[in-house]
């Protein structure tokens, strides 16, 4: 169990140092990833920024991610689920466009007047408060790769073992402190797992 997101971030930072992982920038997935990422960035002595992605849900089950799209339009699709549900392209294109717009707006709101995010040649660590399906993280990893990052490390306190394995083929490394075999919702592994407001999350970027 993690006490809260901040304590989890301290433990993730220690885990990265133990593994000798260095970075040029830490990217958090808001909102919940920011309280975890702040101590990571501080411990590594690098800037903290954000990368945003939104999942695209199935028509009758919005919690089931059939795809995810990042703030710049980079998209990851779960082709197996799309085929099993026989989803048509019109639905996928419409919902992906809608979620892309929401992700881009959130990215702009969080970054404000900061300079454009330039990841070319950078060693990037992407942090979130946990990995369940990993859909949004997959879109973020692809977005960072496409931006020319030299390396991409995913770092989380807790992850579904299956999601961690699948992400290992896309990221250079996945650091998950806990991979419970009977993984449930991320919040089960925190004593305190309240909602993080946009205001509190954005304050952590200062």
Q: Out of 1.20.120.850, 3.60.20.10, 3.40.50.2020, 3.40.50.2300, which CATH number does the structure's domain 5-49+117-203 have?
A: 3.40.50.2020
Q: Is 136 helix (H, G, I), strand (E, B) or coil?
A: helix
pLDDT, tens digit, 9 for 90 and up, residues 47-89? 999 999 999 999 999 989 999 999 999 999 999 999 999 999 9
> Where do the domains of the chain lie?
5-49+117-203, 54-110
Task: Give Dmax (Cα) for the chain.
Answer: 47
Pick the CATH number of 54-110 from 3.40.50.360, 3.90.1150.10, 3.30.1310.20, 3.30.360.10: 3.30.1310.20
pLDDT in tens, 85-132: 999 999 999 999 999 999 999 999 999 999 989 999 999 999 999 999
DSSP character string of 145-160: HHTT-SEEEEEEEEB-
Q: Which residues pair with 179 in a beta bridge?
A: none
What is the rounded CA–CA span in Å between residue 18 and residue 27? 20
Sequence-distant (6+) residues with CB within 8 A of 170 are 138, 141, 142, 145, 152
């Amino acid at each position: 169990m993690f006490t809260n997101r901040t304590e989890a971030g301290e433990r993730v930072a220690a885990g990265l140092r133990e593994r000798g992982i260095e970075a040029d920038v830490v990217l958090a997935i808001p909102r919940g990833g920011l309280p975890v990422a702040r101590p990571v960035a501080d411990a590594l002595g690098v800037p903290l920024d954000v990368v945003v992605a939104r999942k695209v849900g199935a028509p009758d089950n919005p919690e089931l991610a059939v795809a995810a799209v990042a703030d710049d339009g980079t998209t990851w699709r779960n082709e197996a689920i799309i085929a099993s549900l026989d989803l048509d392209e019109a639905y996928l294109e419409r919902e992906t466009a809608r979620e892309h717009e929401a992700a881009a707006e959130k990215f702009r709101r969080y970054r404000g007047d900061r300079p454009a995010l330039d990841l070319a040649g950078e060693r990037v660590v992407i942090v979130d408060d946990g990995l369940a399906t990993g859909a949004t993280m997959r879109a973020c990893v692809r977005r960072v790769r496409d931006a020319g990052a030299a390396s991409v490390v995913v770092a989380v306190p807790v992850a579904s073992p299956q999601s961690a394995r699948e992400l290992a083929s896309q990221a250079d490394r996945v650091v998950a402190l806990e991979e419970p075999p009977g993984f449930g919702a991320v919040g089960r592994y925190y004593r305190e797992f309240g909602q993080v407001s946009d205001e509190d999350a954005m304050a952590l970027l200062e």
